[in-house]
Amino acid sequence: MNKAIREILDWVIIIAIAFGASYALRHWVVQPYRIQMSSMETTVFPNDLVMVDKLSYHFHQPRRGDVIIFWPPGITTGDPYIKRVIGLPGETVEAKDGKIYVDGRVADEPYLHGCVTPDFSPTPVPQGQLFLMGDNRAVSLDSRSFGTVSTNSIIGRAMFAYWPLKHFVVLRAQTGLAQ
């Protein structure tokens, strides 16, 4: 095989490996998503880009306060939703006097920035399900509307918003419960 053909073959192999690695990384490890809704303002905004970790929930369950990308019940096309994990399997979530209660304990939600949550009656969270809510409670279509969400419908955990740069924020679990 002459030197020119060998050089071309080497480049084709390198490019194929790069595309394969990129596909595998995006399909199974991390993927960017563009936010399409205003339900998570003032944490993330419409048209923000967030980086989503698709791997960690294979090793541990979602945690209270995680911001996740998921398919809502009955929807598998279009744009996935982004919400915050409020209630975990086996818990009961309710809102009264503008605050969220999980199993009777008030949730500490520093990301709400004065947003008041409209009251709703106690909602049990079945095993394998999560209770999810947007940070912009007044406009959020969330578990109050469509019910709890199966953990099987989770695409991944939003790690950070990175574009535009003025909206850069690390998205970490920030919800705790009063003692």
Q: Would you name the residues annotated as active-site residues? A: 39, 83
Residue whose C-alpha is closest to residue 70's, from 55, 80, 56, 59: 80
Helix H or strand E segment including 14: helix 3-28
Q: How far is CA 171 from CA 6, 53, 137, in A?
A: 47, 11, 18
Contact predicate 158/68, CB 8 Å = yes
Beta strand residue intervals within the chain, DSSP E: 30-34, 49-53, 67-70, 81-87, 92-96, 99-102, 105-108, 120-124, 129-133, 149-150, 154-163, 169-170, 176-177
| Strand-pair category, 169-170 with 99-102 | unpaired
Q: How far is CA 32 from CA 21, 76, 82, 94, 127, in A?
A: 16, 18, 13, 32, 29
